[in-house]
Amino acid sequence: MKKMKLGRWRPVAIAGVAFAVWVALWGELGAPADGDSSFGEAVATFGVAGPEKAPAPKTNAGPNPNPAPNVAPPVPEKPPAPKPMSNRVVEYHIGVALDADNHALHGTQTVTWRNPGKEKVQELYFHLYPNAFESDKTTFMRESGGKLREDKRTANSYGGMTISSIETTEGLDLTHRLAFEQPDDGNKADKTLAKLRLPKAVPPNGTVTLKMSFTVRLPEVFARMGYKDDFVMAGQWFPKIAVYEPAGTRGRTAEGWNAHQYHGNSEYYADFGIYNVKIKVPTDYVVAATGFPPKPAVVDKKSGTKTYHFYADDVHDFAWSASPHFVYAEEPYSAPNVPGVKIKLYLDPTHLELKERYLYAAKKSLQHFSEWYGPYPYSTLSIVVPPEGAGGAGGMEYPTLVTAWAADSADVGYELERVVVHEIGHQYWYGMVASNEFEEAWLDEGFTSYAEDKLMEAEYGLTPSTTLEASYMTNPASLTRFAWNFDSHDHYADNVYIRGKLVLLAMEKEIGEAKMKRVLRAYFDRWKFRHPSTGDFQKTAEDVTKRSWAPFFDQFVYGDQMADYAVERIERAKSDAGTYAYRVTVSSRGGKDGPVSVRFLYEDGQTIREEWPGKEDSVVFALPPHAAKLKHVVVDPEHGVVLEHKRINNFMKTDVDDKLETRWTMGVAKLLEALFGTVVW
C-alpha cells in the first residue's frame, strides 16, 4: 500500500492455453461436483498435444536380402507439466454477482485447503475482512478512528459479510460450527476472524473441500474496499482461509495457524493457490481483476448482465474492480526479464489524456524491477484509476492488479508515477515474496519504498531527501513490532515505510549499491513464494556479504535505534605562545552506524578531517597546535550517515563557553521541539 503523499512462451502462458482448452471441452466451468480438487491438475497437464505419429516408410515390392532388425516405434512422450511456482495450498472456485443498486455482492465458493504441515488439523480459520465495517465497535474502526490516510468514513461507510451456508462435498451442514475469534484484543464486537471446527481432521498433505455461500454489504469506500457511486473496488471481499505455517516457517518452532483480526494498521497475509472466478455485473460495466480471462465475457440480454471469467495461479489473493465509466487501454510489453506481459489500464475519464504517463511508469517499473530483483512471471498487469471521491480505494496493491490515486484532478505531478511505481514494486515484496504484513510489515512496505525511490531516481531524476525523512523519526520502534502495536497510524507509517527504507539505504551505504543489489536479488530468488521472515533476510545478507549483520540488525531492525552523533564539548588545551590546541569530544547517543566523518574548520580557512569508526560511545580528538583559532566542528558534514536523525547537535562553535554552549544547544533543541513537534528532527 502506498503511504500518504509527502514474447516467449512461458509456463504460465502454457497453463493458460491448457485452461482455455479445458474450458472449451467441458463447457461452463463450475466447482468440481464431487469435491475432488482436480482442477489444478487439469490446468497443469492438459492441452499440449504429443508429437504426431510419423507415416510408415515406403518399402520395395520384392524381398529384402538384408532385412533391417525390428525396431519398435518411439512412444509419444507426454510433455512435462509446467512446474508450479508456489506450493498452492488453496484452490478457490468463486461465483459472485454485483447488486449495483444495493451495493452488495452475492457469492458462492468452493474452496479446497491442503494441510501443508506434519500434524492433523481439526479446524480452519477464515478472514472475514468486510466485517471490519460492521460498526464503530470493530477493532479496525476503533484503531483507525474510521480513517485511512486522509480518507474518512461517511454515514454510508458501513458494511459486512454474512456466511449463509457452509457444507462439505457430502452435503453435511457446518454453518453452526463457525465461531468468531478475537485472539489479538478480545474484542467481542469484532467478527473479522472466524474458526470452523471440522467434523474430521485433515491429515498431513490431505485436503478438505467446502462449499460456501456469502453476501457482502459494501461500505462507501474510505479504506481500500467498497463503492463510490457506481464504482466498485472489491478487495478482501470473500471468505479467505488464513495461513497455516509449518514448523520452520518464519522461524517458528511448532506448526500452527497464523491468524489475526483486521486492524487499523495491518494489511494482509495469505497462502498461495489457484483462483477461478466468475463475476456477474450489469451489462454496461467493465471489470478489472487479478489474473487473465480464459475466454470473453458472456452477455445475457434477458437479465441485462455480463459475466466475466478470470483465472490466476500462484497468487495469494484475488481482487477486482468494476465501473461503467472505465476507459480501457492495453499494451503488450516485453523486456529482457519480462518475456511478455499485457499491461491493462482502466482509466477514469478525467485522466484519459494521462494514459501514456501511466503506461510508461508501468513499463519502466517492470523493466527495472525485473532487472534488479527477478523476472515478473505473470501474463498480465492491471492498473485501476479510481474516480474522484474514491481516494480510499487508491494506492493499493493486489496480485497482478494495482490501484493508482483517485482521479480527483487532471493536473497531477509526479505523484501519479510514484504511486504506480510503488504499487508495482509491491508485486515483488507483497506479491511474490509474500511477507507477513500482520507481523513484519516492513519486509513489504520498507522494501517497496526503497525500490520506489531507486526507480524514481533512475527514471525520473527525483532524489529523495533522506536527511529530512530521517528527521521524522522522533519515536523509532522495532521494525518487527506487530502492526497494531504501534502507537498510531503515523507511528506505524513512519517506522514501517520510512525507517524501514532508511535501514536498507544504510546497508547500501556500508556495502555499496552493486552489492546491495546482489543481496536483494538473492533474497528474492531464495524466498519468492515462501513467506520469509526478517531473520531470513538477515541470513541472506550475511551469506552474500560474508559478514555478520547481527550488531546492525539488533540496533536498527529488532531494536528501536536511530543514529545520533553529537559534538559534546570543545576544550582549549595548552600550547606554545601564538598557537591554539583543542580537545574535541564527539559521542554516539544512539545506535552506532559508523564510520562517521568529523570536520574541524579554523578561522584561517584551513580544514582538518578525521574519520571515527563510531563504534564506541565517545571519542576525544586532540588537535595539534595551530596558528589560528578553531572556528567550529561538524560531525557528518556530508550527511553520509543515513540513520542520523538529530542533526542539530552535529555542530558546535568554539567562541562560546562550554557550559553555555551545551545549554544553548539543548535550549534551542527543546524550543524547536515545542514549536514544531516532529518537524524539528
Q: Pairing state of beta strands 273-282 and 226-228?
A: unpaired
User: Catalytic site residue 358?
Assistant: no
- Answer for the pair 208, 126: CB distance below 8 angstroms, yes or no: no
As a whole number of angstroms, the distance between CA 568 and CA 51 comes to 80
* Cβ count near 574 (within 10 Å): 6
Q: Estimate the share of the chain in helix, then strand, then coil, as percent rounded to the nearest 5.
A: 30, 30, 40
531 known ligand binder? no
As a whole number of angstroms, the distance between CA 465 and CA 468 comes to 5
Residue 328 sits at φ, ψ, to 5 deg, of: -95, 135
Candidates 331, 257, 277; CA nearest to 91 is 277
- Catalytic-role residue among 423, 437, 644, 661: 423
- Answer for the pair 641, 561: CB distance below 8 angstroms, yes or no: no
> Vertex 175, ends 170 and 178: CA angle to 5°?
125
Angle between helix 500-511 and helix 442-460 axes, rounded to 10 deg: 60
260 known ligand binder? no
Burial 305-342 (b: 16+ CB within 10 A, else e): bbbbbbbbbbbbbbbbbbbebbbebeeebebebbbebe
User: Catalytic site residue 513?
Assistant: no
Q: Write out 567-631 in H/E/C secondary structure.
A: EEEEEEECCCCCCEEEEEEEEECCECCCCEEEEEEECCCCEEEEEECCCCCEEEEEEEEECCCEE
- Answer for the pair 406, 386: CB distance below 8 angstroms, yes or no: yes
All residues at 6 or more sequence positions from 660 whose CB lies less than 8 Å from its CB, including other chains: none
- Answer for the pair 295, 309: CB distance below 8 angstroms, yes or no: yes
As a whole number of angstroms, the distance between CA 455 and CA 517 comes to 13
DSSP string over 112-176? EEE--SSS-EEEEEEE-GGGGGS-TTSHHHHHH-SEETTEE--TT---EEEEEEEEETT--B-GG
As a whole number of angstroms, the distance between CA 22 and CA 46 comes to 7
Strands (E), 316-362: 320-323, 327-335, 338-347
* Eight-state DSSP code of residue 212: E
Q: Given the C-alpha cell 464503530, which residue does it identify?
A: 136
Amino acid at 164: S
Give residue 488's Cα distance to chain centre.
20
Class of residue 550 by CB neighbours under 10 A (exposed 0-12, middle 13-18, buried 19+): exposed
Q: Which three cell numbers stand for residue 361?
A: 511508469
> Vertex 268, ends 211 and 278: CA angle to 5°?
40
- Catalytic-role residue among 275, 497, 565, 582: 497
Q: Which three cell numbers stand for residue 94?
A: 468463486
As a whole number of angstroms, the distance between CA 503 and CA 443 comes to 11
* Cβ count near 343 (within 10 Å): 18
- Answer for the pair 320, 236: CB distance below 8 angstroms, yes or no: no
Q: Given the C-alpha cell 551505504, which residue does it identify?
A: 509
356 known ligand binder? no
* Cβ count near 680 (within 10 Å): 18
Q: Pairing state of beta strands 104-114 and 607-612?
A: unpaired
Annotated binding-site members for Zn(2+): 422, 426, 445
- Could you give the residue numbers annotated as active site? 423, 497
Annotated binding-site members: 422, 426, 445
